[in-house]
Structure formats: structure tokens, C-alpha cells
Amino acid sequence: MSTDENRNEQVEELNEAVDASAEAAGEQETEQGEASELDALKAQVQEFQEQMLRSQAEMQNVRRRAEMDVEKAHKFALEKFVKELLPVADSLEKAVESTEGQGNADDLVASIRQGVEMTLSLLESSFKKFNVEPLNPIGEPFDPRHHEAMSMVPAPDAEPNSVVAVVQKGYLLNGRVVRPAMVMVAKAQDAPKIDEKA
């Protein structure tokens, strides 16, 4: 073999080695590129899963809120109607009270009283059917959520800040105040004088 042939063989081997190392380097870059791309895709999949979980939780919250709103709407749908009927109940009660103590009255007054009492009891039973409860808090402590104080009066027999008289009964619908009870509250004996005109 001549020197030229020998050199040509060495050059070819060297070229093959360079090509092989270039291929190896290219494969390594491809693997690294694929690995970083795979990591990016995994991170994106995890982000999408978290977004899906958040969306599902939000949907559950919206559904729960809507169910509660519908439940409240069903529960308190009668509130305006009940408010309109309360003056009727008040009038019937006043009619019954006005005929009390008239034992020697004629038959007409007695029959009217009996009719009014029956009408009032029908109305009260209808109220009970729809969870409308009267508030008649005589003797109970004053509660500003359920009572409206008309005035404070001296009452030596009663506890201070307790209800001694009810001017107008209050009513609850499913536990919610439709109308607060208008009451007179007992004041303490040694309480300072309050200027009610101010």
C-alpha cells in the first residue's frame, strides 16, 4: 500500500469518526430536547388538571348557592302575603277584645263575638300551617332583634329590661321576623331620668 492510499484510509476513518461523533451529539441534543419538551408537557398537563379541579369546585359552589337561594325563596315566598294579612288578624283580635266583659249584652253582640272568634281561630290555624308564629313576649327579656320598644315604664314587680306590655304582637315566618312586637319595657328603679322629648 502506498502512502497516499494509507492517508486516504486514515482520512476516511477520521471522517467516519467525525460523522459518528456528530450523530451521537445530534442524538444527545435530540434526547435533551425531547426531555425538556416532555417536562414542559408534564407541567402543562398538571396545570390543566389543577384548572379542571378548580372549575369543578367552583361549579359545586355555584350549584350549592343556587340550591340555597331556591330553598330560601320557597321558605319565605309568603312573607309579603303574610304582612298584608297581619292587620286583619289585629282587627279580629281587637273585635274580640272589645266585646270582652259584656256578659249581659244582648244575643246579637254574643253571636258577633262568637263569629269573630271563629274567624280569628281559622286565620291562626292557617298561619300555623304555613309556619307563621305570633310573638307575644310578656315577661321575656327585651330582644331588639324581635321587639321594638315603644317606651320604658317603671314596673317594680318586673325585672329591668323585660317586656311588661305588648302594644302590638309581632310575627315570625319560618323563624324570620316579619313584624317585630311593639312592647313596653320595664326600666330599673334607680335608672337615671331620660329626656324622651330629645
121 and 151 in one domain? no
Among 171, 194, 192, 191, which Cα is nearest to 181's?
171
Q: What is the pLDDT of residue 64?
A: 93
Domain end marker among 52, 75, 98: 75
Q: What is the pLDDT of residue 28?
A: 63
Residue 189 falls inside a structural domain:
yes
Residue 166 CB partners (closer than 8 Å, separation 6+): 136, 137, 138, 181, 182, 183, 184
Q: What CATH number does the domain containing 178 carry?
A: 2.30.22.10
Say how far apart CA 152 and CA 137 lie, in whole Å: 15
The per-residue pLDDT string of the chain (198 residues; one tens digit each, 9 = 90 and over) reads: 566 677 767 767 766 766 666 666 666 666 666 778 888 888 998 998 999 999 999 999 999 999 998 888 877 788 888 888 889 889 888 888 887 776 666 777 888 888 888 999 999 998 999 889 999 888 889 999 999 999 888 888 888 888 999 999 999 988 889 999 999 999 877 655 555 555
102 and 51 in one domain? no
Beta bridge partners of 187: 154
Here the cell at position 135 is 310573638
117 and 83 in one domain? yes
Residue 136 falls inside a structural domain:
yes
98 and 39 in one domain? no
Residue 174 region by backbone torsions, left for phi larger than 0, else alpha for psi between -120 and 50, else beta: left
Residue 117 CB partners (closer than 8 Å, separation 6+): 96
Angle of CA points 169, 99, 149, to nearest 5°: 20
CB atoms within 10 A of CB 78: 16
CB atoms within 10 A of CB 49: 10
143 and 189 in one domain? yes
Q: From the DSSP assignment, how many helices (H) and strands (E) are in the chain?
A: 3, 6
Among 141, 133, 147, 140, which Cα is nearest to 181's?
147
Residue 198 falls inside a structural domain:
no
> How many domains in the chain?
3
Residue 34 falls inside a structural domain:
yes
65 and 21 in one domain? yes
The whole domain housing 167 covers 132-193
Residue 123 falls inside a structural domain:
yes
Domain end marker among 75, 98, 119: 75
140 and 124 in one domain? no
119 and 101 in one domain? yes
88 and 71 in one domain? no
